Amino acid sequence: MLKSNDIYSSITQKIITDLEKGELTWRKPWNSENLTGNVMLPLRWNKIPYTGINTIMLWATAADKGYSSPYWMTFKQAIDLKAHVRKGEKGTTVVYADKIIKDETKEDGTSTINRIPFLKLYTVFNASQLEGLPEHFNKLPEPTIVNPEKRIEETEQFFKETKAEIFTGGKAAYYEHADRIEMPPFECFNNAASYYGTLAHEVTHWTKHTSRLNRDFNRKKWGDEGYAKEELVAELGACFLGAVLGFEPVTKEDHAAYIQSWLKVLKNDNRFIIHAASQAQKAVEYMNELQNKEVPGQKRVAEFELI
């Protein structure tokens, strides 16, 4: 079995390879014809969404291979459902993360509890690769239709329930010192999806405040490594939230510069993409917890990924 560091390296290298080609792995579903209008979170056999880095990797695989079903499962889970993997099909790797609790006794006789993180790999198959599954596993979701000229009431309500202070201005930005979000007028955007995608990015930044998730990457100045890390979390958070609420997040105009800064971060730290995905997941879950009602398709999961 691969060691944890090998797993981190393998996942990070996949992301780096795509970034070097100018591709954002986590945006592939929106660029894939077979998933246009049907982008949603990858689901386990029991309809519980995958989270964090597994969302990114399964999205990318579905887009690359042309899989249209949102469902993924292990070989055994398929067998339990009286189905089987089509001959010649190859599985996709997902990650299970947890911690080993180890009680160690010191020389002075006192004991300490150490929590040692570890990763394990599992192989899953998309429903499109299986035969004999119940019909609902292969039924495609209805395309999400976004009116490009009108605000979307449900999405408006979602952001309203966060209680984030948003004011109209000339650019999109989150000001941590004032704890306020600036957004251009709705009419300035090409369509509703562009507006909500940008807003999702800024509200993800908003969750980092010390009174909320207290997310700090030791940022000292604009454009440094801490800045690049936070921008990656906000980018991923917008994509995760877009899949839940049904809009396509929009890459900022200067995304090429972001790609270069993200490449530098990932090459310096092969664990960060997994950490960034986890932080983005927490941001989305935090926003969900601020809602008066549960968001369809979202179910809070443990911090560590479960198969």
Token reading at 276: 């960034």
**Model pTM?**
0.86
pLDDT of the residue at 208: 97
- C-alpha gyration radius of the chain: 20
Residues of the chain with pLDDT under 50: 1, 295-307
Structure confidence by residue, pLDDT tens digits, 180-201: 999 999 988 888 888 999 999 9
pLDDT of the residue at 82: 95
pLDDT of the residue at 220: 77
pLDDT of the residue at 217: 92
pLDDT of the residue at 203: 97
Q: Are 98 and 304 in contact (CB under 8 A)?
A: yes
pLDDT of the residue at 148: 64
Domain coordinates in residue numbering, the chain: 4-289
Distance CA 198, CA 203 (A): 9
Distance CA 229, CA 223 (A): 10
